[in-house]
Structure 1
Amino acid sequence: MSTTGPKKPPLAAPKRSAKAPSKPKPARKAKSTPRRARARSNNVVVRLVGGLLRWIFGVLWWITWRVTAVVTVVVGVMVAITYTSLPEFQTLMDGRAKGSVTLLDHDGEVFAWRGDQFGGIVTAETVSPHLKNAVIATEDRRFYLHPGVDPIGIASAIRINLNEGRGPLQGNGGSTITQQTAKLLCFGNAYNASEWKSEAEYIADCRRSSLSRKAREAVYALAMEVKYTKNQILSVYLNRAYLGGGAYGAEAAAQRYFGKSAATLNPAEGAMIAGLLTAPSTLAPTANLERSRNRASVVVGLMRRQGYLSDQEAALALANPAELSEAAERQAGGYFADWVMASGPEFFTRDTTEDVIIRTTLDQRVQTAAEEALTYIFDEKVREGSKAQAAIVVMSADGAVRGMVGGRKTKVVGAFNRATQAKRQTGSAFKPFVYATAVELGYSYDSVVVDEPYCLNIPGSGRWCPENYTRDYKGRVSLTEALAQSLNIPAVKISESVGRDLVRKVASDFGIDSDLAAGPALALGASESTLLEMTGAYAGILNGGSSVTPYGLVELKLLGENEPLMGTGGGIGERVIQESAAQELIYMMTKVIEGGTGGRARLPGREAAGKTGTTQAARDAWFLGFTADYVAGVWMGYDDNTPLSGVTGGGLPAEIWQETMMRVHEGIDPKPLPMLRPQPRPAPAPAPAPQDQQRRAPVASDNPIENILRSIFGGN
């Protein structure tokens, strides 16, 4: 069969490709290199420089990561070593080198603090959340995020310092709370008195800033972060930080300023305490309340911006700033507290390492009365700009000091106390001791002495002729009138009559311990004494003639102990003159106020006795006196002994005394003074009338017949 011929079509059509026939691909164009790049790449110098830079960066990177590794290892080793030396955090809470002294008034209320006050341990969990948040917002807002050192905070602080023209480490340090705590701990170096001249020098060294100290601070902080939790670190900080007013730690500050626990502080109070961390002494509310409130308002703003306070809570805190407690606001008895601290044993007062409680004689009502009286007189009756000073002491008849003002600035601590430290001539305020000696020896209030020109020859000094202040003479006067008018010549005559040595002994026995003049001018107050001594001596007159040792300390005990370590160090002592003599002298001294030189000291409706005193050239002016309830003394003068202008003891000092005693006796019923009350003498019989103008009364006879005859016929 032939295979030729037409072919049959296939039973199925062949598969067709969906792709179009491929076209030959054009040749890929080489990327064109810019002419400048081609020129650069062909430049040998450029290639050398680039290679050199790459080599330098390579070397730097090689050095950097190796140095970093070495530093990391070194820091790690140092942190590890430091870690092993860290104690348990509970032992770090109280970092004081000295203890505290809390002073209570006679009612048991706190009125002053001395030393390093520590109110007790608080923790980050138990303290008021408002205080905790305020501290974090103010001091370290990333406290819970960083490992103890905050690079962001450090960079920010350096930038601020440079922008303000300071060195990078001057001013803001960018320290975290952990770093600040490390400084408070002085990197674990405890205070040793044998190594440091003072605690202040030790603290200054701990706070010293340098690159090496910053590095040490950072290492210590990192070790703390490994050893302790964040809340433990914050607890140490809250307990050790100084917060002004002698308060160390949050609890002491809360008690010092607000009279409450640190756990109960509100936002305004927490902000005020947190604000003190910047400058505790300057910003302390007891130093400047307005400045402290301004700082607190800044802290409230920080708390609001960081979400710790809502807008409403922040507005409420700003509208109701923190108020000081009554004790903190009064700052009562600054001079008194200093005196009590100085009168106690140093190892329990100024240098105590324990926490001490001292109960005192202070009456805060009396203290306030004295302060306000002094302020009132100087505001109303002393010329503006005067530098004159004054001091006041108020005490009971047994020497218990109830109030003390040592100068015109009453809200002070550690200031010069003119009531206890200034020895000044007493002038005529000394004369009651001359007359006390006289009445003790038998003179009477109405004994007569002649006020006349009088001179004495003093061996080694020549002729001395005292004069009265008024430069005139009264002639025959009673002792009462001589004292009331403060006559000098009768006082000298009486002193010479009874004997200067005896006058000196009586004054000394009454408590005037200062050196007393040996010459006849002793009677005129030529000797020096303190206001406290003089007031105590007058208290001896009021209590019936027994000596008095002024005292302010009633009881001293350690915090937490019930038994006192010491008790009262003063009070009534031995008798100096008889009670009858004291009563007679008190009567004589009432006439000083009722009709003598002390008229401005009169207390309406209340018996009072006293004596004025003015020294030569009016360098010192005094008024001392008493009622049945209180003894008070006032001194006025200049610290540099400049003479007072137009002031005598019967002037401004008497007015200060009167203003003080009026305030002190508010609400107290008047009581009579324990004094002699002379019976009025019968008036002399009138002279007989002339014979022709009177009929003489018949004289009775024992003979009844004679009497009958007389009645009939008259006659005698």
Structure 2
Amino acid sequence: MSSKGGRRSPLVADKRYGKEPPKPKAAAPKRTPAKRRRKRSSWPVRLVTGTVGYLSRTLWAISWRVGFVVASVLALATLYFYAQLQPLGAYVDARTKGSVTLLDRDGQVYAWRGETFGGQIDAASVSPYLKNAVVATEDKRFYGHLGISPRGIAGAIRINLAEGRGPLEGNGGSTITQQVAKLLCLGVAYDPSVWKSEGDYEDDCRRGGVWRKIKEVPFALALEAKFSKDEILTLYLNRAYLGAGARGFEAAAQRYFGKSANSVDPAEAAMLAGLLKAPTRYAPTANLKRSQDRAAVVLGLMHDQDYLTDKEYNQAMAQPARLSKAAAARAGGYFADWVMESGPAFLTSDTTEDVIIQTTLDQRIQKSAEEALAQIFSNRLKAGSKAQAAIVVMSADGAVRAMVGGRDAQANGAFNRATQAKRQTGSTFKPFVYAAALDMGWNLNTIVEDAPLTIHVPGSGDWSPKNYERDYRGPITLTQALAHSVNTATVRVSEAVGRDAVRGVANNFGFEADLAEGPALALGVSETTLLEMTGAYAGILNGGTSVRPYGMLELRLRGEDTALAGQEGGLGERVISEEAARELTYMMHQVIESGTGRRARLEGRQAAGKTGTTQAARDAWFIGFTADYVTGVWMGYDDNTPLTGVTGGGLPAEIWHEVMVRVEDGLPARPLPMANPVDYPAEPVYETYAPGAPATGRGQGRPRPSNPEGFLVDLLGAILRGGN
């Protein structure tokens, strides 16, 4: 726009509004905070929120302080335990006692005593199947935690509560590391002055409770800090108890499968790992089927956690683990106990070393004895019968080859009726009466009278022995008297040769107990054990030399070649002449051929023996021998209840027969070392000589008769009655 006259025209707003433009409104004054209007909550809400806030702040203040204290205590406790821990090697085998491994006559293992440690194994070299089985069964998160598993503990508490137990009773949710802490007893060493036995010490280590669980935590953390995972697993593999006295997986693998833990297959590994839950209950030597069922559960866990392929799993399920031959046989439990008791305690029951004992046991003969007893008892006894029996088989030099101490042939540590039960011997004692007579010059055809007899016993009055069959045969030979177990004739012989002579022969043959003083001595009223009786009969078989039964051949420490102890027993001194032993053997042969022991007769093989039944049939015996072995059998009740319908010539003779048929199977038939009866004259015993107490009746003296007529009458009577 141009201006006129050089002056600018005033600026004029466009007239857009048709009137003056509106004046701008004045800005509203700002409201100061003091003037703001507050929206206040109701007082109850303010009270609650204030209280919650206060409590939260207080709880947080307390929590972090308590947490700090707990963490500090835990760290200090862990550091304390860490400082106490020793190198790995100190914990691998911490047994306070050693073990005893027993070998049979061929050097094969047949029994163990004490806790066996098979030697150190390592988690890095052990069978991977075993390593994986243990992890899958006991702690599947083992390689991922720091020694404790809160998830596992929570799960265990939930299971315990659901099953009506306390939160820490039953399942503990322990990791493998915590279980190692328990096995190490939280670092507390065994002290005999504190615990009565190692068993009490371990019971205390295994006991549960809140305080024990709390202490396990820092110890487990210390273990994790001190050792690697594989080292912790190595401790577990070496120290875990796995039943039957096996400490560690190497010992268990050797005991159950006869192989190293480094070479077990999946089925065997699963069975071993399954023992960890309850070693005694699941031990395969106690119940193989139950152990196999438990192993199947472990195989399932291994398969689910991809430790086994489908093929490996199916094969292991189809072919479950089985015991080795030695473990399955479990032979010689009573024998092993006897050897342990007969050896020095510091090298057997109380040994602190691992000991190897080679013994005289023959596992084939042991099995034969066990099978024979089981067969007779199952077929010939009433169901529920509590009658017991014992068997001993030995060689002529006293080497014991088998021993059964009761009907439970597998028992360990049980009462051994073969060595511990002292029972009256009955007529099995009679051979020693005749042994004394034969050694004095009598012979197997010497004639003695079987007739009523009364002997006056000072202080007791008259005593009249009776025959079992309640009749009398008149003049008979010694052979007939023994074959038919004639009481009156045997007493006459005993009184004639003198009781002292009879006792002397019996004692020299191995009777250690005091023998009866009266005339009933001849009828076996004295007590002894089956082992002693069998040993005494071995002296007859070997030609009249005493024996001391023995079972140990050699004792040495594991890994050592030098024996610390050797055989204690065997042949002793001569008791009777060889000729007398040969005559007595023939007489005892007739017991089986034509006398009271006919049920013991062996087809095609010579045998000799003697039956025995005590008063009221409380004991029944049969002891006899072939040219190879001497076997003794006893039968009765532990509480002395009389046997019903049982004599020595019955079930004991049948048991003996069944044992010997099995024992002699495959062996050539050898003749007995016995005399020929035709070589001996019939010499009647006529005059009466009763040392100490007179006896009525004839037949008690060795000298030739002074009355020839009487001699002829007796000889004629013997011939008419069948005397030899």
TM-score (norm 2): 0.88
Deviations 1:224-281 (A, max 9, x none): 1001000000000100000001000010000000000101111110010001011101
Give, in angstroms, the shift of residue 680 of structure 1. Answer: 7.2
Partner of 2:338: 339
2:368 corresponds to 1:375: no
Partner of 2:167: 168
Partner of 1:441: 440
Partner of 1:709: none
Partner of 1:248: 247
**Distance 1:41-1:455 versus aligned 2 partners, 3 A rule:** farther
Which stretch shifts more, 66-75 or 625-634? 66-75
CA distance, structure 1, for counterparts of residue 40 and residue 271 of structure 2: 68
Partner of 1:461: 460
Partner of 2:56: 57
Give, in angstroms, the shift of residue 121 of structure 1. Answer: 0.3
Over the matched positions of the two proteins, sequence identity in percent amounts to: 64
CA distance, structure 1, for counterparts of residue 341 and residue 437 of structure 2: 37
Deviations 1:170-227 (A, max 9, x none): 1111111001101100111111112211111111111121221111111100001001
CA distance, structure 1, for counterparts of residue 250 and residue 625 of structure 2: 43
2:639 corresponds to 1:640: yes
Partner of 2:595: 596
2:86 corresponds to 1:87: yes
**Distance 1:39-1:638 versus aligned 2 partners, 3 A rule:** farther
Alignment of 1:538-553 (within 5 A): 538-553=537-552
Partner of 2:669: 670
Deviations 1:583-609 (A, max 9, x none): 111011110001000000001111110
CA distance, structure 2, for counterparts of residue 531 and residue 119 of structure 1: 36
CA contact (8 A) 1:134 1:299 kept: yes
SS of corresponding position for 2:645: coil
SS of corresponding position for 1:450: strand
CA distance, structure 1, for counterparts of residue 417 and residue 381 of structure 2: 19
Partner of 1:524: 523
One-letter amino acid of the structure 2 residue matched with residue 453 of structure 1: P
Alignment of 1:148-159 (within 5 A): 148-159=147-158
Partner of 1:451: 450
Partner of 1:146: 145
Partner of 2:513: 514
Which stretch shifts more, 425-434 or 297-306? 297-306
CA distance, structure 2, for counterparts of residue 39 and residue 610 of structure 1: 121
Deviations 1:87-114 (A, max 9, x none): 0012110021110100000000000000
CA distance, structure 1, for counterparts of residue 210 and residue 38 of structure 2: 50
CA distance, structure 2, for counterparts of residue 446 and residue 184 of structure 1: 73
One-letter amino acid of the structure 2 residue matched with residue 231 of structure 1: D
Partner of 1:23: none
CA contact (8 A) 1:41 1:47 kept: no
CA distance, structure 2, for counterparts of residue 50 and residue 473 of structure 1: 116
CA distance, structure 2, for counterparts of residue 208 and residue 409 of structure 1: 33
One-letter amino acid of the structure 2 residue matched with residue 601 of structure 1: A
Deviations 1:539-572 (A, max 9, x none): 0000010111000000000001001001001000
SS of corresponding position for 1:144: helix
CA distance, structure 2, for counterparts of residue 3 and residue 455 of structure 1: 185
SS of corresponding position for 2:312: helix
CA contact (8 A) 1:450 1:475 kept: yes
Partner of 1:109: 108
Give, in angstroms, the shift of residue 40 of structure 1. Answer: 11
Give, in angstroms, the shift of residue 311 of structure 1. Answer: 2.5
CA distance, structure 1, for counterparts of residue 680 and residue 224 of structure 2: 94
Which stretch shifts more, 577-586 or 70-79? 70-79
CA distance, structure 1, for counterparts of residue 616 and residue 294 of structure 2: 51
Aligned length: 649
Give, in angstroms, the shift of residue 512 of structure 1. Answer: 1.0
CA contact (8 A) 2:104 2:361 kept: yes
2:108 corresponds to 1:119: no
Partner of 2:721: none
CA distance, structure 2, for counterparts of residue 650 and residue 154 of structure 1: 67
Partner of 2:303: 304
CA distance, structure 2, for counterparts of residue 39 and residue 598 of structure 1: 121
CA distance, structure 2, for counterparts of residue 679 and residue 166 of structure 1: 84
SS of corresponding position for 2:677: coil
Question: What is the Cα-based RMSD across aligned positions, in Å?
Answer: 1.5
Alignment of 1:258-337 (within 5 A): 258-337=257-336
Give, in angstroms, the shift of residue 386 of structure 1. Answer: 1.2
Which stretch shifts more, 184-193 or 540-549? 184-193
One-letter amino acid of the structure 1 residue matched with residue 450 of structure 2: D
2:686 corresponds to 1:679: no
Give, in angstroms, the shift of residue 3 of structure 1. Answer: 5.4
CA distance, structure 1, for counterparts of residue 378 and residue 491 of structure 2: 38
CA contact (8 A) 1:511 1:547 kept: yes
Give, in angstroms, the shift of residue 514 of structure 1. Answer: 1.5
Give, in angstroms, the shift of residue 39 of structure 1. Answer: 14
**Distance 1:680-1:520 versus aligned 2 partners, 3 A rule:** closer
Give, in angstroms, the shift of residue 312 of structure 1. Answer: 2.5
Alignment of 1:20-39 (within 5 A): none
CA distance, structure 2, for counterparts of residue 605 and residue 223 of structure 1: 74
CA distance, structure 1, for counterparts of residue 680 and residue 75 of structure 2: 103
CA contact (8 A) 1:358 1:557 kept: yes
CA contact (8 A) 1:106 1:360 kept: yes
Which stretch shifts more, 547-556 or 185-194? 185-194
Partner of 1:481: 480
Partner of 2:229: 230
Alignment of 1:549-560 (within 5 A): 549-560=548-559
CA distance, structure 2, for counterparts of residue 40 and residue 467 of structure 1: 125
One-letter amino acid of the structure 2 residue matched with residue 622 of structure 1: W
CA distance, structure 1, for counterparts of residue 49 and residue 38 of structure 2: 15
Partner of 1:67: 66
CA distance, structure 1, for counterparts of residue 671 and residue 39 of structure 2: 117
Deviations 1:330-366 (A, max 9, x none): 0000000000000000000001000000000000010
Deviations 1:384-418 (A, max 9, x none): 22111111000000000000001111111101111
One-letter amino acid of the structure 1 residue matched with residue 162 of structure 2: N
CA contact (8 A) 1:79 1:222 kept: yes
SS of corresponding position for 1:679: helix
CA contact (8 A) 1:538 1:625 kept: yes
CA contact (8 A) 2:491 2:523 kept: yes
Which stretch shifts more, 428-437 or 287-296? 287-296
One-letter amino acid of the structure 1 residue matched with residue 529 of structure 2: T
CA contact (8 A) 2:130 2:273 kept: yes
**Distance 1:622-1:60 versus aligned 2 partners, 3 A rule:** same
2:608 corresponds to 1:609: yes
Deviations 1:127-159 (A, max 9, x none): 111111111111111101110011110111111
Partner of 2:206: 207
**Distance 1:224-1:573 versus aligned 2 partners, 3 A rule:** same
Deviations 1:282-340 (A, max 9, x none): 11000111111111111111111111112222121111100100000000000000000
SS of corresponding position for 2:122: coil
SS of corresponding position for 2:449: strand
Give, in angstroms, the shift of residue 368 of structure 1. Answer: 0.5
CA distance, structure 1, for counterparts of residue 301 and residue 38 of structure 2: 60
Give, in angstroms, the shift of residue 679 of structure 1. Answer: 3.2
Partner of 2:659: 660
CA contact (8 A) 1:99 1:354 kept: yes
CA distance, structure 2, for counterparts of residue 307 and residue 63 of structure 1: 46
Partner of 1:424: 423
Partner of 1:25: none
Partner of 2:130: 131
Deviations 1:44-94 (A, max 9, x none): 011111110111011111111121112111211111121111000121100
**Where has structure 1 moved over 3 Å in runs of 4 or more?**
2-5, 38-41, 679-682
